Amino acid sequence: MTNAATRRRFLAFSLAAASAVVARPSIVLAHAKERSIALYNAHTGESVKTVYWANGDYVDDGLVEISRLLRDYRTEDVIPFDPRLIDMLYRLCRKVGTRRPYFVMSGYRSPITNEILRKNDNRVAKNSYHMRGMAVDAYLPKVPLKTLQRAALSLRAGGVGYYPKTGFLHLDSGRVRSW
């Protein structure tokens, strides 16, 4: 093979490789970023700040820490939380421009806890997303609740419930809806 032919093959290969990277920049960016979240459990006083996504994938140890913090503190039951919900919380922090921890009022609810709460409050759903590790009730200190609600709605990432009297939002990774 001549030097000219070798150069042409090298150039063709280089162009093909470059176009593959340019065509899929999200893959390159996904590997360069980390996502972390900070949470404070208002009932237990526990907090966590952890990386839950890195190198293009979820970090098991981070997700376990989050799920442990979001456990049903009444029964100590822990279930895995939906990573889509954690992504929603992460995106919401970015949208409102804060790295402050979420103050979590409610995470996972065992069926027993959910039924007790339901008997005392008709707003508690019988088949709550809280029982599936797909919902949190939380707020961000120093971010007005109305601002947080508008930002959450703009994400169109799941359910957003606005509770101004009790001072928190319900956020879930179910279908897009609001109340």
Which numeric CATH code is attached to 33-178? Answer: 3.30.1380.10
Asked if 34 and 53 touch (Cβ cutoff 8 Å), the reply is yes
Q: Which residue has the tokens 């970023």?
A: 33
Q: Whole-prediction pTM value? A: 0.80
Q: Is 151 in a helix, a strand, or coil?
A: helix
pLDDT values of the chain reduced to their tens digit, one per residue, 179 residues: 554 443 444 334 333 333 333 333 333 334 448 999 999 999 999 999 999 999 999 999 999 999 999 999 999 999 999 999 999 999 999 999 999 999 999 999 999 999 988 888 877 888 899 999 999 999 999 999 999 999 999 999 999 999 999 999 999 999 999 99
At 103, the amino acid letter reads F
Q: Which two tokens stand for residue 117?
A: 């709460």
- Distance from C-alpha of 67 to C-alpha of 168, rounded to nearest angstrom: 20
